[in-house]
Structure 1
Amino acid sequence: MKKEKIIDFGILALRWYLIFYMISYGWSKLTLSQFGVYDASILEKPIKDIDSFYVTWHLYGRSTFFNISTGILEIIGGILLIFNRTVLIGTLLVLSILAQILIIDIAFTTGVHGFALPIRISGMIMADLVILYYYKEKIIIAWKNLTNGISTKFKYKWWVYLILPIVGFLMDFVIAIFTMPIKMLLNWLGN
């Protein structure tokens, strides 16, 4: 077997490694079985006495929206890794998901589980980066296409750029006004 074919097979194996975990993690979130604290005695303690892992997992388990939305994103990432046409999109999506999971695991799971979860997620991130490196020529072309020749349609005087931070800040109020009917509807539906 040629060296290139062995490397290509290794990349395919790394893709399926990530596919397996992303779909299984996503599925466990869709079925609401990943998060939560199943030992009620932990939750009977004062919050200052509960390890941050249990507090975090309890809070994540209380949000069906969080579980379903993150589960769907993980499954989509895994599915995108299956197909050659979408592998780069899937790899970039999975990388962003895994980076967030790594931050959560470092911040909240090391007290109970040590570094087992962060190390596993770091391995998955490394696998993802190896896949991206393997397709680096395509990534470079995509990067150039995304960053080359982007500019505003019109030229502005220099002083316009000085007031843009203020205008940008004020846009928050404009968007708040336009989204107010949605907020009022959601509040009405929630009550």
Structure 2
Amino acid sequence: MTDQSWTLSRKIGFRFSFIFILSFILFKNNGAFSLLGYLTQFLTTPMRQLCHWFAIHILNYRYDYAVYTNGSGDTSFDWVSLAIFLAVAVLGALVWSVLDRDRKSYNTCYYWLTAITRYYIAFMLINYGVVKLTHSQMPPPGLGRLMQPLGEFSPMGLAWTYFGYSKGYNIFVGIVEILAGLLLFRRTMVLGALITTAVSINVMATNYFFDVPVKILSTALFLLSLYLLLPYIRTLFNLLVRVGALVSCSYWKGRYTHGLGKIS
């Protein structure tokens, strides 16, 4: 980051991102950070009370918001809490913008936010990668599953049976997810973010299309990976699109010239 003044839209966007990302990381870490969970356990009850109040009085939602995270990351409580994070981030960004309107940039805060985001993504995916290496997240289908008629499978059950059948596939995916550890180092951050973007979009698609109840977390990992890549979008575009176009043009030009040589 340079010392140049940020644009107004960039400052507002950062303020919103700062509040929302830290709120999400604090409460939605899926048990991957035991120490963080221990330090924030005193916030659990106030957060539940806030969700109850927000669901009833703001969202007018009275279905099952009291069902807390219980292995599923997509309970109504999780969606209500996500709405709270968004509302707090919007309001917080507005108040922050008024109180700190003369600030030229947030380079130091940006550095620490990206560092926290890097470590969050890395440890989350490393945690998932390790359990895949041991073939314990999606275990091989047992006799009861194999005897069950296919039409009785839930979408998630079908996906878990398919993925769990192959130990080699689990090991491969586990290794790729463990490569998220590249995010732990600044010099390999871009490569790590590219890998985690590809991994998380695949996980996210599986969760949405097979109704796996980890949609919020997988979507967050994908968006956070993109967030890390934002400062490098132009460079990556030039590398992946323009260079690719030049190589393609050179290839077809060579074939065309070679073809004319043959004709002549």
TM-score, normalization by structure 1: 0.68
| Cα separation, 2, equivalents of 1:75 and 1:106 | 23
Runs of 4+ that moved beyond 4 A: 37-44, 157-160
Which of 229, 234, 250 in structure 2 is aligned with 1:132? 229
| Cα separation, 1, equivalents of 2:246 and 2:159 | 44
The alignment partner of 1:135 has SS state of helix
Kindly state the Cα deviation for residue 134 of structure 1 after the two structures are TM-superposed.
3.1
Greater share of helix residues, 1 or 2?
Answer: 1
| Paired AA for residue 166 in structure 2 | S
Kindly state the Cα deviation for residue 47 of structure 1 after the two structures are TM-superposed.
1.6
| Paired AA for residue 52 in structure 1 | P
Which of 250, 256, 259 in structure 2 is aligned with 1:156? 256
1:1-191 pair list within 5 angstroms: 3-36=106-139, 44-76=147-179, 78-110=180-212, 113=213, 117-136=214-233, 138-140=235-237, 142-143=239-240, 146-147=243-244, 149-150=246-247, 151-152=250-251, 154-156=254-256
Structure-2 change in CA distance of 1:145 and 1:159 (3 Å): closer
Name stretches of at least 5 consecutive residues in structure 1 with no aligned partner.
161-191
| Cα separation, 2, equivalents of 1:43 and 1:148 | 48
TM-score, normalization by structure 2: 0.51
Asked if the contact 1:81/1:87 (under 8 Å) is kept, the reply is: yes
Kindly state the Cα deviation for residue 154 of structure 1 after the two structures are TM-superposed.
2.0
Structure-2 change in CA distance of 1:154 and 1:26 (3 Å): same
Identical-residue share of aligned pairs (%): 24
Name stretches of at least 5 consecutive residues in structure 2 with no aligned partner.
1-104
Structure-2 change in CA distance of 1:140 and 1:62 (3 Å): closer
The alignment partner of 2:135 has SS state of coil
| Paired AA for residue 86 in structure 1 | T
Give aligned pairs, total. 153
